[in-house]
Amino acid sequence: MDLQGILEDIVTHVAPLCRQGEVASYIPSLGVVSPDNFGICVATADGAIYGAGDWRKPFSIQSISKVFSLALVMSYDYDSIWKRVFREPSGTPFNSMIQLEADRGIPRNPFINAGALVVTDRLLTLTGDAAGAVRGLLRQEAGNPSIDVDAEVAASEADHGHRNAAMAHLLASYGNLENPVEDVLANYFAQCALELCCEDLAKAALFLARDGVSAGGSPFLQPSQSKRVNAVMLTCGTYDAAGEFAYRVGLPGKSGVGGGIVAVVPGRCVVTVWGPSLGPNGNSVAGMAALDEFTAKTGWSIF
Amino acid sequence: MDLQGILEDIVTHVAPLCRQGEVASYIPSLGVVSPDNFGICVATADGAIYGAGDWRKPFSIQSISKVFSLALVMSYDYDSIWKRVFREPSGTPFNSMIQLEADRGIPRNPFINAGALVVTDRLLTLTGDAAGAVRGLLRQEAGNPSIDVDAEVAASEADHGHRNAAMAHLLASYGNLENPVEDVLANYFAQCALELCCEDLAKAALFLARDGVSAGGSPFLQPSQSKRVNAVMLTCGTYDAAGEFAYRVGLPGKSGVGGGIVAVVPGRCVVTVWGPSLGPNGNSVAGMAALDEFTAKTGWSIF
Amino acid sequence: MDLQGILEDIVTHVAPLCRQGEVASYIPSLGVVSPDNFGICVATADGAIYGAGDWRKPFSIQSISKVFSLALVMSYDYDSIWKRVFREPSGTPFNSMIQLEADRGIPRNPFINAGALVVTDRLLTLTGDAAGAVRGLLRQEAGNPSIDVDAEVAASEADHGHRNAAMAHLLASYGNLENPVEDVLANYFAQCALELCCEDLAKAALFLARDGVSAGGSPFLQPSQSKRVNAVMLTCGTYDAAGEFAYRVGLPGKSGVGGGIVAVVPGRCVVTVWGPSLGPNGNSVAGMAALDEFTAKTGWSIF
Amino acid sequence: MDLQGILEDIVTHVAPLCRQGEVASYIPSLGVVSPDNFGICVATADGAIYGAGDWRKPFSIQSISKVFSLALVMSYDYDSIWKRVFREPSGTPFNSMIQLEADRGIPRNPFINAGALVVTDRLLTLTGDAAGAVRGLLRQEAGNPSIDVDAEVAASEADHGHRNAAMAHLLASYGNLENPVEDVLANYFAQCALELCCEDLAKAALFLARDGVSAGGSPFLQPSQSKRVNAVMLTCGTYDAAGEFAYRVGLPGKSGVGGGIVAVVPGRCVVTVWGPSLGPNGNSVAGMAALDEFTAKTGWSIF
C-alpha cells in the first residue's frame, strides 16, 4: 500500500472542508490560527514516518494531552486512579456537572475536563510537576527536546478558565483533589498548552500501537495497560461524538480543541491529523473527514 | 491454542461466581431460572464450534435481540435508521428519559430501550412482522428451525411493561413511531422473548465476525455495515458498563437481562456466554468474568 | 370600591393584549377558539357577583379542574393523598420526568400532570367516577346543572394524549396507580374537558375564599384544608410561572391551557378570567394582565 | 389574644424536638452550638415585642441575610436585578447546577446560593461594601449598633467554601458577575456570618410587615416592593421545602442553616424562631414546629 500517496490524496480532498465549522476562539491565542492549515502524519510500529500538508507545523494539543497524563499516572500506579475517576462515556456535555453531583465527585471518565483535572492532580502528587512530566514524556518519545508549553496560551486559558475553576472547586468540595485548586489548574492549563506538530505527536503516541513499548524499546506501559488506554480512548475520547467516531472511523482516538486528533491502529501505526476548524462536537471537521478516508482506503479498523 | 480446554477451564473457574448478583425477577418467568446455569460457546469464522457447560440449554435472549433487529433494518435500508436514533453512548440510565425529552424524541442509541423500540417500529414497517423477521434470521443463521418465542415470557413482559409503554408513548408524542404503540410493544416483547442456547446464538451472530457474510455464504450485511454494528455494540452494548466492558474485555459485546452476552472478535470468532445472575449494571456476573478470562488467555482484543 | 367599574376598565385595557401569545392548538377543538374572547368575573364571599366582557361564555377549564379533584379527594380523606404526591413547586417542565424517576414515582405536586393523574386515580377509587364527581361538585357549587364535559374535546385529548399516557404508564411502573391506566386517562381527559363560564367557575371555587364553606352553607372542606389548597395553588398553580404569578399578582391561582385562570382572595372573593391566547409559560396573557391590574387597583394581595 | 402566653407555651412544647435532626457541622464554628437552644420572638407592626426562651441569644443568620441583601438591592434599583436572576422556585437542590447551565448562568431565584451570589455582587457594585451595607441595615432597623460579623465563622466558610466558589466561577463563566470572584465570595461569606438574636432579627425584618416602612418611619421599600420580597420568600424561601412551609405554616418565611427562621404576617407582625438542629431540608425542626403551632393558635395565615 502506498501510504504516502494516500496521505497526499487526503490533503487534497479535505482542503475544501477546512473552512467548515469554526476555529475555537474562547481564548484569543487559539482564535488567530488560520483554518487553512491541514496536516496528517502516520508513524508505523516498525518506525516508518509518512506525512503530508502542514504536518511539521506545531499546534496547541489541548485535550490530547489528557492521553499522556493518563498514561503517565498508569505507568506509576497500575490502576489506583480508577478509584477517583470512572471510565464510562459521559453522555451529553450538559450532563457533566449533574453527573459529578449525582456521583458524589467522581468524574465519569478521564477525558472529560473534570476527570482530566483529577488525573493531573494525581500526577502532580506523584511527580511534583504534572505539566513538566507530560512535557518530558512527549520530548522523549518524539525525540524532540524543543517541545514546550506556549506560555501565552497557558496564561490565556487561566484568564478564561472560570468553567474549569468551577469544576476544580466542585471536585475539591467532594474531597477529590489532593493538591490546592490553583496548583491543579496551573498544571492543567500548562499541559493543554503544549505545542507539537503532527509528526511529534504521532511519534509520541506510538507506544499505544506497540503494546506500551516506548521509542527507546523499553516498556513504558504494560501491554494490558496500553490496550486499556486505547479502550478508554475509543469509548470516551471524542467528547460527545465517541459513538460517531467509532462508527465512522472505527479506531481509538482523542481530539483537542486546537484541531488535532490522534488515532491508534493497534499493532500497526498511529495517525495524527490537524485542522483547526471544529464541528459542533468540538472535533476537527477536516480531521474527521481525513481519518474517515484513511480507514476507508487502508481498510484498517478494529471492527 | 486449545480453545476447548480454555472453555472448560473457564466453566470451572466461574462456577463460584454464579451465585453473585441477582437473577432478573421483574417478570416471574425470568425469576425462576436457576443461577447455577453457566454456558460458553465459541463459533469461529471458519466454521468450528467449541462449547462447555450449559451451552446447549436455551435461555431468553432479551436485549441481545436488539443486535439482530438493528442488523435487519440496516440490511433493508442502508442507514436511514440513523435519522430516527443516535448512536452515542447513553450515560446513566437515569438520563434516558431526560435525554429523550432534551433531544425531542430521538433516542441516544439503538440498544437502550427507547432506541430499540424505534428500530422495531422501523422493522415492523419494512416487514409487517418485526418479531417474525428476527426469529427468521436467527433460525436461518443458527440452522435451527425450532428457535421460537417463549409466549409466556412475552405475555409476562407485556403485563409488567409499563416502563416500555411509557417510553413508546413518549416516542409517539414526538412523532417518532410509524406504527401504533400497541403493535410496536407486542413485537418488541416478542423479539425479547426469543429463546436460544449459547451455540445457536454464537452461530446466529457469526456474520458480525465475518464482515457481514451469512451462514449460507452470501452477504447479509456489507462489510462496512458489519463493522458499524460492532462499533455500536462496543460503545453502547452493555448498558451503563460499556466503558468497563471495553476496558476489561476489549471486544464489541451485547448483553441481555436473561444473563446472556454475545461478544465478537472481528475476523476470528463469536463468543457467547450465559449466566443468569446479574451485577448492578444488568450484565451477567459469571459471563463478564468468563469473557475477561477468555480474552486474557487468548490475547484476542481489538485494542 | 366600584368593583363593576374596575372590571369594565380591565376589559377595555386588556383588549389589545388578546392577540399576544398563542391559542393552544395541540388539540383541534381548542385551536378554533377565537383569541378575542375575554371575560372576567368576581364572586364575593358574601354572595355578590360582578362580571364584564365574555364572562358568561363557557370555555374548556382544562387544568383548573385539578383544583376541584384535589379538593374532592381531600374532602373524603383528610390528607392521605400526600403519601402519593408531594406538594413542592416543580421547577422547569423539563424536569418533570427526571423528577418522577428520581423520586421513584412520586410526582412533585398535584397540579403538574403526573400529580393530577394520581389525584384522579384516587378520586376514581373513592367514587367510581372521578370526572362525574368533579362535574357534580361544579354543578352544585355553581348552581348550574347544565355544566358538562365537551365530549369532542375529551376525545381529542385522548387522541393526542401520548404524553399523558407516557406519564400514566410511568406512574403505574412505580405502583402509584390504583386503577388501570386507560380508566385513569379517560377520567382525566373528561374532567379537563369540562366547560364553564367565568361566572360558573367563580361561584364553584368560592369555597376557597370562604374557609371551605360550600354554596349551600355547609362545610365542604375544613378551614385548614381550604387554606392548604390555596397554599398549593400559590406555590404550584401556574406551571413554571408560580414565582412570577406570586410576584406580580400576589394571590393563589390556577390556570388552564383553555385560557382560564381562577384566583382566590382569602376571606373576600374569587376572581376568574378567561383569554384564550397563552404566553410562553402556558398562562393566558390577557388574563395575567387583568389579574395584575385587578390586584393593583383593589390593593388585594395576600402579601 | 395573649401572645406572650402563646410564645411561652410554644417554648415548652417544642423543647423535646430540639434534639431531632442535626446541627449544621460543615464548618466547625456552627457545629459547636448546642441544639438545646430555642428562642422565639414576635415584633408587631405597631411596635410591641414579645419573646420567650433564648430569644436574646445571638446566632449566625446565614441564608436569612439573603432577604436583606435582596431588599437593599431593590431599594437602590427598583427591579433591574431581575435581569440577572429569576424568581421561580428551584425544585430539588440536585437541579441547581444543571439549571444554571440550562439557563445560561441565570440563577433560578435570589435565595438559592447562586442567586444570592448575584445579588451580593450587585450590592457590591452599588455600595462598594455589600456585607457592610447589610450590617448597616440590620443595625439601623434593630436599633442595635453592636450587630456584627463573626469573623471566625466567615473565615471558616471561606475555608470550606469550595461549593460556593464553584458556583461563583460558573456564574463568572457566563458573565453574570460584575466583580472578581474572590470579592463576591468574601462579601457573601461575611453577610452570612452576621450574628443576631431573635429580637434583633424580628425588628430588622419588620419593614416587610409594614409595607416597606422602616423602623424610623420612612419608606425603605415601596409597598409593592415589600409585597414582592414577601412573595419571593413564600415561593423560594425555605430551600426545597417551600411548598411544605406554605402548606403547614402559610406565611412567607426564610430560613438559615444556623437554625433561624423569619416569618412575616403582612400588616401584623414578624415572627422569628431559632433552634439549631435541622431537618433533612435544612430548616430548623423545632422552629418549623413552633411556627406551625403559632399560626394554628393565632389563626394568622395569608391563605
On whether the CB atoms of residues B6 and B286 are closer than 8 A, the answer is no
C-alpha grid cell, residue A297? 482506503
On whether the CB atoms of residues D164 and D113 are closer than 8 A, the answer is yes
Of residues C119, C184, C229, C257, which has the active-site annotation? C257
| Cross-chain Cβ contact A169/D163 below 8 Å | yes
Among chain C residues, the shortest Cα distance to D91 is held by C91
Across residues C107-134, what is the average pLDDT?
Answer: 97
* Model pTM above 0.90: yes
Cα–Cα distance, D152 to A149 (Å, whole number):
41
| D145-151 LR contacts (CB < 8 Å, sep 24+) | D147/D194, D147/D195, D147/D196, D147/D200, D148/D194, D148/D195, D149/D190, D149/D191, D149/D193, D149/D194, D149/D195, D150/D29, D150/D60, D150/D193, D150/D194, D150/D195, D151/D193
Domain map of chain B by residue range?
A: 3-298
In chain B, what percentage of residues exceed pLDDT 90? 88
Q: Which residues contact B44 (CB under 8 A, 6 or more apart)?
A: B268, B269
pLDDT of residue A208 exceeding 60, the answer is: yes
pLDDT tens digits for range A54-76: 999 999 999 999 999 999 999 99
pLDDT of residue C200 exceeding 80, the answer is: yes
On whether the CB atoms of residues B243 and A88 are closer than 8 A, the answer is yes
The CATH architecture of the domain made up of C3-298 is 3-Layer(aba) Sandwich (3.40)
Across residues B213-238, what is the average pLDDT?
Answer: 96
pLDDT of residue C96 exceeding 80, the answer is: no
D188 has binding-site annotation: yes
Residue C240: the pLDDT is 82
Residue C92 binned pLDDT confidence (cut-offs 50, 70, 90): low
Cα–Cα distance, B213 to B236 (Å, whole number):
23
Vertex B69: Cα angle to B66 and B70 (nearest 5): 85
| Cross-chain Cβ contact A89/B94 below 8 Å | no
Rounded to whole angstroms, what are the CA distances from D9 to C265, D40, D49, D288, D290? Answer: 32, 11, 17, 15, 10
pLDDT tens digits for range C107-116: 999 999 999 9
| Cross-chain Cβ contact A87/B231 below 8 Å | no
C-alpha grid cell, residue B59? 435461555
3-state secondary structure of C39: strand
Length of chain A: 303
Cα–Cα distance, A253 to D262 (Å, whole number):
57
pLDDT tens digits for range B29-43: 899 999 999 999 999
Enter the ipTM.
Answer: 0.93
Residue B36: the pLDDT is 97
Residue C126 binned pLDDT confidence (cut-offs 50, 70, 90): very high
| Cross-chain Cβ contact A227/B301 below 8 Å | yes
pLDDT tens digits for range C229-266: 999 999 999 988 899 999 999 999 999 999 999 999 99
Closest to A169 (Cβ–Cβ): which among D98, D102, D165?
Answer: D165
Q: Which residues contact B38 (CB under 8 A, 6 or more apart)?
A: B11, B14, B15, B18, B53, B54, B273, B274, B275, B286, B290
Amino acid making up residue D210: R
Q: How far is the alpha carbon of A242 from chain B, nearest alpha carbon, in Å?
A: 7
Residue A78 binned pLDDT confidence (cut-offs 50, 70, 90): confident
Residue C302: the pLDDT is 97
Active site residue D69: no
Higher pLDDT, C74 or B92: C74
Across residues B220-231, what is the average pLDDT?
Answer: 96
On whether the CB atoms of residues A31 and A225 are closer than 8 A, the answer is no
C-alpha grid cell, residue D154? 466567615
pLDDT of residue B148 exceeding 70, the answer is: yes
pLDDT of residue A94 exceeding 60, the answer is: no
What secondary structure does DSSP assign to chain B, as a single string? Answer: --HHHHHHHHHHHHGGGTTSSEE--SSHHHHTS-TT--EEEEEETTS-EEEEESTTS-EE-GGGHHHHHHHHHHHHSTTGGGGTS--S----GGGHHHHHHHTTT--S-TTSHHHHHHHHHHHHHHHS-HHHHHHHHHHHHHT-TT-EE-HHHHHHHHHT-HHHHHHHHHHHHTT--SS-HHHHHHHHHHHHTEEE-HHHHHHHTGGGTTTTB-TTSSBSS-HHHHHHHHHHHHHHTTGGGHHHHHHHT-S-EEE-TTSEEEEEETTTEEEEEE--EE-TTSSBHHHHHHHHHHHHHH-----
Q: How far is the alpha carbon of A254 from chain B, nearest alpha carbon, in Å?
A: 15
Among chain C residues, the shortest Cα distance to D250 is held by C231
CA neighbor of D121 nearest in space, from D145, D105, D144: D105
Residue A83: the pLDDT is 95
Q: What is the mean pLDDT of chain C?
A: 95
Q: Which residues contact A195 (CB under 8 A, 6 or more apart)?
A: A58, A59, A60, A61, A147, A148, A149, A150, A153
Active site residue C66: yes
* Residues on chain D bordering chain C, Cβ-to-Cβ distance under 8 angstroms: 86-92, 94-95, 99, 102, 108-109, 226-228, 230-232, 234-236, 240-244, 246-247, 250, 252, 266, 301-303
| Cross-chain Cβ contact C88/D244 below 8 Å | yes
Q: What is the mean pLDDT of chain B?
A: 95
Residue A92 binned pLDDT confidence (cut-offs 50, 70, 90): low
Residue A267 binned pLDDT confidence (cut-offs 50, 70, 90): very high
Among chain C residues, the shortest Cα distance to B168 is held by C166
Residue A239 binned pLDDT confidence (cut-offs 50, 70, 90): confident
C85 has binding-site annotation: no
User: What's the first-to-final CA gap in chain C, in angstroms?
Assistant: 20
Active site residue C57: no
pLDDT of residue B131 exceeding 60, the answer is: yes
Residue C93: the pLDDT is 61
Residue D27: the pLDDT is 85
Residue B78: the pLDDT is 77
Residue B93: the pLDDT is 61
Of residues C42, C60, C63, C264, which has the active-site annotation? C63
Residue C97: the pLDDT is 73
Closest to A235 (Cβ–Cβ): which among B95, B227, B242?
Answer: B242
Q: Which residues contact B78 (CB under 8 A, 6 or more apart)?
A: B222, B225
pLDDT tens digits for range B73-101: 999 987 889 999 999 988 766 566 777 87
Residue B94: the pLDDT is 54
Q: What is the pLDDT along chain D (303 residues), one digit of tens a residue?
A: 799 999 999 999 999 999 999 999 888 889 999 999 999 999 999 999 999 999 999 999 999 999 999 999 999 987 889 999 999 988 766 566 777 877 889 999 999 999 999 999 999 999 999 999 999 999 999 999 999 999 999 999 988 899 999 999 999 999 999 999 999 999 999 999 999 999 999 999 999 999 999 999 999 999 999 999 999 999 999 988 899 999 999 999 999 999 999 999 999 999 999 999 999 989 999 999 999 999 999 999 999
Residue linked to cell 500501537: A209
pLDDT of residue B234 exceeding 90, the answer is: yes
